[in-house]
Amino acid sequence: MEIIPVLDILNGVVVRGVAGQRDRYRRVQSQLTSSCDPSVIMRALEGEFDLHRFYIADLDAIQCQQLNRCTVAELARGETSLMVDRGVRSAADVEELLELGVSHVVLALETLDSLDTATALVSTFGADQLVLSLDLKNGRPLTVNPEWKTVEPFDIAHQLVDAGLRHLIVLDLAAVGVDDGTPTTDLCRRLRSLLPDGTIITGGGVSNCGDLHGIEAASVDGALVASALHDGRLSAEDVRTFYS
């Protein structure tokens, strides 16, 4: 199973997510570096854990449609692979990230307005570079689409997989930064039946190595992790056990 560090970027610096309550997000405090600069944080995580794929949530773009363009371009340099959530609302949003060197663009349920938009994006860009983020809050869909607000997350995923998406993130924002375990593993097990040959990633609430083993046991391909890496609750040796 792949371990994927998360960088939440707000006002141009890395912040620590807390239960999806973005007004409570503060500059990250890390045992690895005193800096909050995204490129410094990335290099520190790469050096300590030998990880080279990162998930970037550009909260300035998600909330205000103000992409940290220079930051994303800098982070995408070299051999580092990026998945970026910028709150995609249009094909132009996807195209801009790909032009900056991003390897995978996240289509977040939080800002995806319809099934038709998802279908059009798959038709334009193909499925390989697109990742659906099934955004939840306390188990319910976090979505701008009123038609999805009362639909079960599994059924929303079914619709979007039928539209051609093959890479999936399952993320409950209420669990982010709370260090109380990941509540999405049962849903991930069910979703595997939809994506027997696709990719499923989950995260939110990873506190220790035991949580990662629980995620791995749910047939998940990757885990998004942030606080546990900065706080020292996951060591480089812990991370290496998932790549041996």
Q: Where are the domains of the chain?
A: 2-240
Burial per residue of 115-152, b for 16 or more beta-carbon CB atoms within 10 angstroms, e otherwise:
bebbbebbeebebeebbbbbbbbeeebbbebeebeebe
Please report the pLDDT score of residue 17 as a whole number. Answer: 65
Determine the distance from the C-alpha atom of residue 117 to the mean position of all C-alpha atoms in its chain, rounded to a whole number.
Answer: 20
Beta partners for 99? none
> What integer pLDDT is reported at residue 199 of this predicted model?
97
State whether residue 185 is helix, strand or coil.
helix
pLDDT at residue number 44: 96
Q: Pairing mode, if any, of strands 81-85 and 26-27?
A: unpaired
Residues 124 and 91: beta-carbon distance below 8 Å: yes
CA distance linking residue 135 with residue 174, whole number of Å: 10
Say what the pLDDT of residue 46 is: 95
Q: Which helix (H) or strand (E) holds 186?
A: helix 185-191
Q: Backbone dihedral region of 11: left (phi > 0), alpha (psi from -120 to 50 degrees) or beta? A: left
Distance CA 16, CA 39 (A): 16
Q: What is the token pair recorded at 155?
A: 């059924």
Burial class (CB in 10 A: 0-12, 13-18, 19+), 80: middle
For the chain, list residues with pLDDT below 50.
Answer: none
Which contiguous run of DSSP H or E holds residue 118?
helix 115-125
**Residue 212: its pLDDT value, please?**
94
Q: Hey, what are 146's tokens?
A: 């009123």
**CA-derived radius of gyration, the chain:** 16
pTM for the model stands at 0.93
Query: Rounded to a whole number, what is the largest CA-CA distance in the chain?
Result: 45
Backbone φ and ψ for 67, nearest 5 degrees, come out as -65, 135
| CATH value of 2-240 in 3.40.50.300, 2.60.120.10, 3.40.630.90, 3.20.20.70 | 3.20.20.70
What's the CA gap between 61 and 85, in Å, rounded?
8
Alpha-carbon distances, residue 82 vs 12, 74, 240 (angstroms)? 17, 11, 20
The pLDDT of residue 176 = 76
Give the bridge partners for 134, in sequence order.
170
